[in-house]
Structure 1
Amino acid sequence: FAPTQAATCLVAGVLTIAMGLATNYPFALACGMGLNAVVAFQLVAGLKLPWQAAMGVVLLEGIAITVLVLTGFREAMMDAIPLALKRAIGAGIGLFILFIGLHSAGIVKPGPPGVPVTLGDLTTSPVAVAVFGLLLTLWLQARGISGGLLIGILASTALAIVVNRVTGGAAFPAPGQAVLPASLVALPDFSTLGAGLDLSVFARLGFIIAAVTIFSIMLSDFFDTMGTVIGIAGEAGWLGADGTLPRLNRVLLVDSLAAVAGGAAGASSATTYVESAAGVAAGARTGLASVVTGGCFLLALFFAPLAGVVPPAATAPALIVVGYLMTRIVRDIPFHDLDEGFPALLTLAMMPFTYSITNGIGAGLVAYCFIKLVRGRGSEVRPMMYGTALAFIVYFAAPWLAGR
């Protein structure tokens, strides 16, 4: 755990500071949990790759994305998406964040066979802490008090520590959660640095399976970032009338280099992550916020024992409130128009229901192109959109192709 945490903080700190300085936007970067799950379950558990070779896959997909940025393809792809779908992507990410918050709070949980999700046990201590934090955060937001999200997290963590001590550790049994550590400071362990230079994936899996694997992860990384940037920029009011974002290419270049750095450091792909929305919701509007956030990541290198103190129930209220703030843009989506309304709804639904930003974007883009074609309006779609729709069809078929 300690080496991975050190590598994550180092990559996140350096690249988040770079994002602030290069773009003047308050986007923060860290290892994306969705891609972490792909690496753990698809590459290591499914394809039996050593973790070092899995990091090599992340390194290769990061290089591929960087090439796409340098050629201008990635920016052109983002600009080609119609405004209604961009708004749906932003609102879908809001629903996704809200769902993550509800799950982290224990308010929803996996259901019995045949029921995907169900109401959690509302009598548990984590739920009580989360509800307390949510009510406090909403009160602070309603009163217009600055820093409401952070205050809610800190107050909820303090309550969790007290409850955990009173119950003898039974309330939050996970190691380190809601428990003050014996030592606050520890030297970082950088033993994973360079692990991602293992490029043996082609020798281990064969060219076709390796290529399909790298492509699927690249596409996921590509569109996770795209959705996050569009969603947060839309909420902050940075998008132009045509839905474009100034200095977008700089954002994408830093993000792409973060994927390379994350893979090489053995920390998995670093990406512009959706929690950046919390900073924007709290008032962040310039790159100074990213510089400060990156500095905090670097300071965290020496405070590893504190990392596990904050339980998910304490951060859940902030996610729920930020999810609400991002979802408000749904009011501007023309749902009465089948061409744009149905793809937008599909995007909104697929993100939380499949636990993936990329799946939501892919489903919406494919549906958009299909409906335009069958209604005889195919000329209204930019050629790059068709190419992206085909790429997503390959992405969705990747498990079948890999099995071949």
Structure 2
Amino acid sequence: MDNVKDNSFFERRFKLKENNTDVKTEILAGLTTFMTMAYILIVNPNMLTQTGMDWGGVFTATAISAIIATLMMAFYANYPFVLAPGMGLNAFFTYSVVLGMSKSWRFALTAVFIEGIIFIILSFFKVREAIFNAIPINLKKAVSVGIGLFIALIGFINAGIVIADEGTVIALGTITDVGPLLTLIGLIIMGVLLAKNVKGALLIGILVTTVIGIPMGVTPLPTGLIQVPPSLAKVAFQFEWSEIFTFDMFVVVFTFLFVDVFDTVGTLVGVSSKAGMLDEKGKLPRASQALMADAIGTTAGACLGTSTVTTYVESASGVADGGRTGLTALAAAGMFFLALFVSPIFSIIPGEATAPALILVGLFMMSPIKEIDLQDYTEAIPAFLTIVMMPFAYSIAEGIVFGMVSYVILKLITGKSKDISIVMWVLAILFIFRSILPLIQG
């Protein structure tokens, strides 16, 4: 009887039948997404502590900010997207702002807080939604494909199959080493499960690969089971207001704004395109709600003591496993909550076990390439640049920049300026300004 009530609640809240899904599929999808991005609970504190921040405080801030933002996405937007402090944004926080500009981590947190407030205002007035809707349909499909390649590259790097190389920038690693070998084993396991249409194939594959990694020496044994979450006292509400009206603060806030806007928009475009959530005009219903969840997550994260919160591209793994509603996000948020208390368990899942899932998600996200107009070169070239520059520049945002700017230039020169919306004109000008800003600063 209780189960019937639960299902009834989930149906009313998340409209499961309308989205052609069910409770089991959604929860498994949420677990899958969490597993593919759980690394952020370890990576984010490790990175931000290089600025002098407290590891335990950042760990707790990372988990709680992810919970807040993801619950907003679940109940306010009803989408299967999961949020957490973003990779790339935390690197800018650490290496560019604190170590590069010799600013304090409190200065950087203040910039993130200001960015979050601006995002809330932009989201309230639907400016970010206008940006989302302004992206031409062919570029939206290209974003999905580009993110797929980007995610696959992350998977190969996490596995050690692809490595940095001085001569060629990247090169093939030693695939007979235990790490790459474990990933290849996981890839085969997941491939077989997918071929047999097993529900939760990616999650099952991650768990099985993690277990196989124990005798191989890749997966460590847990040092414990349960621990009290570390205190936030040393990092929460640690703002520094003395430099808020300086040019340095303007540059830092602008950069955070730029990267987060287009990382989030790019992720929403790509994943929702793959999931078939876009309407006939290429728009995402409730886009403003999804973007507001991101904005509130960033503001809350800054208050708690972590870098910018953003929508994760790894959400594509849950979508690939059938996730279609906010119940997927709710399940992932629940896992972040549990992780606060059982971090020793979650921390043993190696990157080599989640890498196969990321690689296969790259495959899943390739399908929209079939729908891109490759005959019209004013459409095809921007789409191509969007696709290839995401992995080559190691940035979703930069891929979008190359695609949008080339789109405006090609349409203008070839006499098709009527295809360029006002928002696209504005964005292209802002992108060019952002490129020359370092020259002005210098």
Query: TM-score higher than 0.5 here?
Result: yes
Asked if residue 162 in structure 1 is aligned to residue 215 in structure 2, the reply is yes
Unaligned runs of 5+ in 1: 165-171, 173-177
Q: Displaced runs of 4+ in structure 1, greater than 6 A?
A: none
Asked if residue 185 in structure 1 is aligned to residue 238 in structure 2, the reply is no
Q: What displacement does 1:395 show?
A: 2.2
Give the one of 173, 178, 201 matched to 1:120: 173
> SS of the residue aligned with 2:266?
helix
> SS of the residue aligned with 2:171?
strand
Provide the residue aligned with 1:301 in structure 2.
340
Asked if residue 199 in structure 1 is aligned to residue 253 in structure 2, the reply is no
How far apart, in 1, do the equivalents of 2:397 and 2:238 lie? 24
Provide the residue aligned with 2:98 in structure 1.
44
Indicate if the aligned counterparts of 2:237 and 2:304 stay in contact, CA closer than 8 A: yes
Q: What displacement does 1:270 show?
A: 1.1
Provide the residue aligned with 1:7 in structure 2.
61
Give the AA of the match of 2:272. A
Q: How does 1:14-163 map to 2 (within 5 A)?
A: 14-113=68-167, 115-163=168-216
Q: Summarize the Cα distance change of 1:371–1:4 in structure 2 as closer, same or farther, 3 Å threshold.
A: same
Give the AA of the match of 1:79. N
How far apart, in 2, do the equivalents of 1:73 and 1:116 lie? 38
Q: What displacement does 1:370 show?
A: 0.5
Q: What displacement does 1:8 show?
A: 0.7
> SS of the residue aligned with 1:245?
coil
Indicate if the aligned counterparts of 1:31 and 1:271 stay in contact, CA closer than 8 A: yes
Moved more, 190-199 or 142-151: 190-199
Moved more, 151-160 or 221-230: 151-160
Indicate if the aligned counterparts of 2:141 and 2:273 stay in contact, CA closer than 8 A: yes
How far apart, in 1, do the equivalents of 2:410 and 2:241 lie? 41
Indicate if the aligned counterparts of 1:92 and 1:352 stay in contact, CA closer than 8 A: yes
Unaligned runs of 5+ in 2: 1-54
How far apart, in 2, do the equivalents of 1:116 and 1:336 lie? 33
How far apart, in 1, do the equivalents of 2:285 and 2:425 lie? 25
Moved more, 373-382 or 356-365: 373-382
Q: How does 1:173-252 map to 2 (within 5 A)?
A: 178-189=219-230, 190-202=232-244, 207-252=246-291
Indicate if the aligned counterparts of 1:17 and 1:292 stay in contact, CA closer than 8 A: no
Give the AA of the match of 1:180. L
Q: What displacement does 1:209 show?
A: 2.7
Q: What displacement does 1:228 show?
A: 0.4
How far apart, in 2, do the equivalents of 1:220 and 1:339 lie? 25
Moved more, 32-41 or 188-197: 188-197
Q: What displacement does 1:288 show?
A: 1.0
**TM-score (normalised: structure 1):** 0.93
Q: What displacement does 1:18 show?
A: 1.8
Give the total of aligned pairs.
387
Q: Summarize the Cα distance change of 1:222–1:192 in structure 2 as closer, same or farther, 3 Å threshold.
A: farther
Q: What displacement does 1:254 show?
A: 1.0
1:45-103 deviations in Å (ceiling 9; x for gaps): 11111112111111111111211111121111111111000111111101100111111
1:132-170 deviations in Å (ceiling 9; x for gaps): 000000110010001110111111111112211xxxxxx
How far apart, in 1, do the equivalents of 2:344 and 2:234 lie? 19
How far apart, in 1, do the equivalents of 2:237 and 2:432 lie? 32
> SS of the residue aligned with 1:202?
coil
How far apart, in 2, do the equivalents of 1:209 and 1:336 lie? 45
Indicate if the aligned counterparts of 1:93 and 1:326 stay in contact, CA closer than 8 A: yes
Instruction: Give aligned-pair identity as a percent.
Output: 39
1:263-304 deviations in Å (ceiling 9; x for gaps): 121111111111111111111111111111111111111112
Give the one of 403, 417, 437 matched to 1:378: 417
> SS of the residue aligned with 2:225?
coil
Q: What displacement does 1:196 show?
A: 4.8
